[in-house]
């Protein structure tokens, strides 16, 4: 954790709360640090569910169970194809895809299984897969 420098030239009171030499083991934080935003590969941040992309919060939100083994139980990904088309993918035991464009909001398409592994994908891979899926809808 980094605190902003003091405006008065004296150390911030916050900086003395925990000496930097003491690093407490936090398996949950370690797990959180392994997660990346599937859209921009940014860090996933937050203090409680939903955790989210630290770059652009809308990209990725994830709810994680607090017991071992840690794993997301609900994930929401939002990104744009062009300026005019927006995809929202929600996975919660199943997959729901919502597409918006300038013309309309299409009805959500729901699949009874998980279509994406957000722990191992990129924006381009998701876009490719979405286009393939939507061709058949
Ligand atoms: Zn992101």
Residue-wise pLDDT for 57-109, tens only, equals 999 999 999 899 999 999 999 999 877 889 999 999 999 999 988 777 777 88
Cα dihedral 53, 54, 58, 63 sign: positive
Sheet with 85-91, edge to edge strand ranges: 44-45, 51-53, 60-64, 72-82, 85-91, 95-100, 109-111
* Residue 123 CA, ligand 1 centroid: distance in Å: 9
Query: Where are the chain's structural domains?
Result: 24-135
pLDDT of residue 82: 78
pLDDT of residue 84: 83
* Residue 9 CA, ligand 1 centroid: distance in Å: 35
Instruction: Tell me which residue of 64, 58, 68 sits closest to 27, measured CA to CA.
Output: 68
Q: Provide the whole-model pTM.
A: 0.78
Q: Average pLDDT, whole number, for the chain?
A: 87
* Residue 125 CA, ligand 1 centroid: distance in Å: 15
% of the chain beyond a pLDDT of 90: 63
* Residue 71 CA, ligand 1 centroid: distance in Å: 19
pLDDT of residue 25: 85
* Residue 43 CA, ligand 1 centroid: distance in Å: 8
CA angle, 15 then 21 then 25, to 5°: 105
Do 94 and 102 touch, CB atoms closer than 8 A?
no
Least confident of 11-15, 54-58, 63-67: 11-15
- What are the phi and psi torsion angles at 71 (to 5°)? -165, 145
């Amino acid at each position: 954790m980094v605190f902003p420098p003091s405006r008065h030239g004296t150390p911030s009171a916050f900086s003395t709360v925990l000496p930097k030499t003491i690093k407490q083991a936090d398996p949950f934080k370690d797990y959180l640090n392994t997660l990346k935003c599937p859209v921009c590969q940014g860090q996933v941040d937050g203090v409680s569910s939903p955790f989210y992309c630290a770059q652009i919060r809308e990209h990725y939100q994830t709810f994680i169970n607090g017991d071992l083994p840690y794993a997301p139980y609900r994930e929401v990904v939002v990104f744009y194809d062009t300026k005019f088309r927006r995809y929202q993918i929600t996975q919660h035991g199943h997959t729901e895809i919502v597409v918006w464009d300038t013309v309309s909001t299409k009805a959500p398409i729901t699949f009874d299984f998980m279509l994406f592994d957000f722990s191992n994908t990129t924006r381009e891979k998701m876009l490719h897969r979405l286009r393939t899926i939507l061709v058949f809808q």
